[in-house]
Structure 1
Amino acid sequence: MLRPVDEAIAALLERVPGVPEIETVSLQDALGRTLAETLQAPFAVPAWDNSAMDGYALRAADLPAEGGCLPLAGRIAAGDAADTCLPAGCVVRIFTGAPLPPGADSVVAQEDCQLQGEQVCLPPVQAGQHVRRRAEEVDAGAPLLAPGQRLRAQEIGLLASFGIARVQVYRRLRVAVLSSGNELREPGESLAPGQIYNTNRITLASLLRGWGLQVLEYPNIPDDPAQTRAALSRAASEADVLLSSGGVSVGEEDHLKQAIEALGQLHLWRLAIQPGKPLAFGEVAGKPWLGLPGNPAAALITALVVGRPFLLRCQGVERVLPTPLRLPAGFAWSKANVRRQYLRARFVVAEEGQASVQLHPRQGSAMLSSACWADGLAVLECQRTLQPGDWVDYLPFSELLG
């Protein structure tokens, strides 16, 4: 029985052991971290009525409906205080961000005005024009950010605008990346007959770092039961979560499964997903362990689709599921599948302006080159076929890699 992908993700999220400890970091070190506190605005933004333009501030009621000329009574730049009330029937020169003087309620852009001696000639104006009102963006005491929010550049900039220099975040989740197999060699080493490079360890470690997690990389584990148990025990003592790929099939040299069972618990799921079907989950000495398929493209896609929500929730992130785009298919798909398919695809805009999702011609579970060509995944539900122009869900890599 194949387990639906969404059901498997929900089951994993129910098994999240808890969030890491809280630590305080500076804003300079907060990018990609997960907020662990509720933050409120210490003051209103803007803190005062201010000008949205370089121009002239006035009281709209002082200007005739058809426009006219008013005397110039001063100048206010950004950073100046505006303590003096605007004289009746006058204007003041004002710059973007400068506070409006008491009595002023409107600003006219400088390119719409003409300076004639000590007079400024202005077009018709509406009250409130080009004025940023106090608390227009955020009022004092309003919620800013909540726990579980991953801090991007815009959240960090928002906090800086309130003078907040340090924030409480969850400690980075420590994830152990494990590989096993006598056939594996590291990039840069020479290959003997029958050997391959350790693709998945590098790929998975890169994904984890992109998600803001701390990666603990271990030497490759030989195909030996005792060494496999020792490596898993060491990783469980140092990491919060263990992650591996391959090594849980029925082969005589697949010692990982037996080691997991000896040290903790093992659950093998067959997911309704392509590429990738075997997924292993369990625990080693009380630490969660996630075992992904061994083929490189299958490992990549199951990590993005299934592993990412679990690992981010372990990090304390609240929003962990990506939002797909609905786009027209630029391809036909005539063969229905009992598994949900995640096809390497690219978002294309034709010269006529028509957008569509195009597929790479090679979708094999071992092929990473097609993932390099792609900028996302087209999602085909179970038993579905497509004709060009039919709507298809599309997951941009930008939603999955960060």
Structure 2
Amino acid sequence: MSLSCFDPRFGERMLSVDEALSVLGESLASVMRTPRSERVALAQAPGRVLAETVISPLDVPAQTNAAMDGIALARASLPDAESGEPLSDHCELSVIGSSLAGHPWTGRALAAGEAMRITTGAALPAGADTVVMQEQLEYRSAQGLVDGDAGERVVIEGVTSIRRGQNVRQAGEDIARGSQAMAPGQWLTPAAVGVLASLGLAEVAVYRPLTVAVFSTGDEVTAPGEMLPAGGIYDANRFSLVALLRDQGIEVLDLGILGDDEASVSAALRDAATRADMVITSGGVSVGEADHVRSALAACGELALWRIAMRPGRPLAFGMLRATSADAESSSGQVPFFGLPGNPVATMVTFLQFVLPALRLLSGQQRLAKAEEGASATALAQWQAPRLQLIAGETLRSRAERVDYHRGQIVLDDRGCQVVMTTGRQGSGILTSMLLAECLIEIPAGCATLHAGEPVMVQWLGSRGIV
């Protein structure tokens, strides 16, 4: 790992967020490998990552069809300005039959002056190029207005508004036969699974999910359900992390809680490195006397970064653990390690900024395919939460030497305009600030005060169930 917070170019100062992403990018590039794949039924594919190129075996839609209920006809059967005929806003055609969804018309092609009843999704009959919706139609017979059948007449209103090709879906307009429908690395969202189903695929090749080992540290940390001792706190971090990981399709190895004992932490790190693709801890990475994770990492791996100029989340450790077992999954013999801060909001914010992009890179997701040639801060940043520019609804304060991430909600001001407001108290231990958050308000380094009414960047947390 050539780049780290201990690199001479950085000295002893804290790294910026972008510099930390560069450290991650260079370090992860050294352990990149193509994940193993397996075939699964399409019903089990949501939340997985596609491991094959999908070539469409058919046109989608398979045939040119109607987008509305109504009649199919040739637009040339209707008068227009170029025909030289006196223009009228209605005309009358003969109805020769019906084309229904799943029951296409198999008779002769439509001739001039003829139309055919058609339902949404039904194949367009030969000779037709346009569909007129039901609301513009009246069916007539010798007895007057009736429900309609072959041999009837149909009166079309609003003829001058009808365009050739309207309300028609062309065969292959979504996906053409023989074209690439999806590439390896596609996150299989509900929409993606729907596209695969529309191609008739019953199963698909996906990458096997990563396995991530998680444990919390600290003598004061107590598992929920147990009696809380004097000075104790319940272990919120591990449960938040496990939920975040599982939401990304990660298999979790939950190693529980370790006390403030360097030997125990070192043994746990060594064991986890032989069983997981990544190891994450929370707590034990600051400068307190009982913070043993950093020193334990030095005994069984290499520390690449430690302090970042951000709030919350300054004491974040990242490095590589040595996987000494012959059965270790990492082909490089190194397993990425994240030591996240102990405060619960800092744990979640640093996960979103750094761990989540790293997981997406290592899981083979699409937008980072180029990272095989060397991951970068820019590449990793693609997998952070989407950024939007909004207007601050209140004055926000920070320290100029760091990036500050306030938890925010989008509300309407008294003029009915969208603005972003904080969720209330912003301490790194106030986990309810994350419960209420729709976004992270990003106050950049160098900005000590951002006034109400000024533009501000936010990281949106509403997509893909990030929190």
* TM-score of the aligned structures, taking structure 1 as reference length: 0.95
The one-letter code sitting in structure 2 at the alignment partner of 1:59 is A
Superposition deviation, residue 276 in structure 1: 1.3
> Does the alignment pair 1:246 with 2:270?
no
- 1:58, 1:107 within 8 Å by CA — same for their partners in 2? yes
Superposition deviation, residue 26 in structure 1: 1.4
Q: Identify the residue that residue 11 of structure 1 maps to in structure 2.
A: 23
Q: Secondary structure at the match of 1:303?
A: helix
Q: Secondary structure at the match of 2:462?
A: helix
Matching residue within 118, 124, 135 for 1:100: 124
Mapping for residues 184-223 of structure 1, pairs under 5 Å: 184-223=221-260
- 1:268, 1:278 within 8 Å by CA — same for their partners in 2? no
The separation in 1 between residues aligned to 2:41 and 2:319, in whole angstroms, is: 36
The separation in 1 between residues aligned to 2:392 and 2:114, in whole angstroms, is: 61
Superposition deviation, residue 23 in structure 1: 1.2
Q: Identify the residue that residue 119 of structure 1 maps to in structure 2.
A: 153
Superposition deviation, residue 270 in structure 1: 1.6
Q: Secondary structure at the match of 1:182?
A: coil
Could you say what the CA RMSD is over the residues aligned between the two structures, in angstroms? 1.7
Q: Identify the residue that residue 349 of structure 2 maps to in structure 1.
A: 301
> Does the alignment pair 1:35 with 2:50?
yes
Q: Identify the residue that residue 81 of structure 1 maps to in structure 2.
A: 104
Q: Identify the residue that residue 196 of structure 2 maps to in structure 1.
A: 159
The one-letter code sitting in structure 2 at the alignment partner of 1:262 is A
Superposition deviation, residue 35 in structure 1: 1.2
Q: Secondary structure at the match of 2:92?
A: strand
> Does the alignment pair 1:292 with 2:340?
yes
Q: Identify the residue that residue 453 of structure 2 maps to in structure 1.
A: 389
CA deviations over 1:174-225 (Å, ceiling 9, x no partner) = 0000112222110111111121111211111111111221111013123333
Mapping for residues 307-318 of structure 1, pairs under 5 Å: 307-318=355-366
> Does the alignment pair 1:347 with 2:432?
no
Mapping for residues 143-182 of structure 1, pairs under 5 Å: 143-182=180-219
Q: Identify the residue that residue 90 of structure 1 maps to in structure 2.
A: 114
Matching residue within 156, 163, 183 for 2:220: 183
Mapping for residues 315-354 of structure 1, pairs under 5 Å: 315-319=363-367, 320-350=383-413, 352-354=415-417
Q: Identify the residue that residue 68 of structure 1 maps to in structure 2.
A: 91
Superposition deviation, residue 92 in structure 1: 0.9
Q: Identify the residue that residue 2 of structure 1 maps to in structure 2.
A: 14
Superposition deviation, residue 352 in structure 1: 3.4
Superposition deviation, residue 243 in structure 1: 0.4
Q: Give the % identical residues.
A: 42
* TM-score of the aligned structures, taking structure 2 as reference length: 0.82
| Runs of 4 or more consecutive aligned structure 1 residues displaced over 6 Å after TM superposition | none
Superposition deviation, residue 137 in structure 1: 1.6
What are structure 1's unaligned runs of at least 5 residues?
none
- Over 3 Å counting, the alpha-carbon distance change for 1:135 and 1:400 in structure 2 is closer
Q: Secondary structure at the match of 1:78?
A: coil
- 2:54, 2:181 within 8 Å by CA — same for their partners in 1? yes
- Over 3 Å counting, the alpha-carbon distance change for 1:277 and 1:164 in structure 2 is same
- Over 3 Å counting, the alpha-carbon distance change for 1:336 and 1:222 in structure 2 is closer
CA deviations over 1:214-242 (Å, ceiling 9, x no partner) = 11101312333332222222211211100
> Does the alignment pair 1:136 with 2:173?
yes
- 1:76, 1:92 within 8 Å by CA — same for their partners in 2? yes
Superposition deviation, residue 368 in structure 1: 0.6
Superposition deviation, residue 148 in structure 1: 1.7
CA deviations over 1:306-340 (Å, ceiling 9, x no partner) = 21111121111234233211111101135542101
- 1:58, 1:86 within 8 Å by CA — same for their partners in 2? no
- Over 3 Å counting, the alpha-carbon distance change for 1:174 and 1:155 in structure 2 is same
The separation in 2 between residues aligned to 1:104 and 1:53, in whole angstroms, is: 14
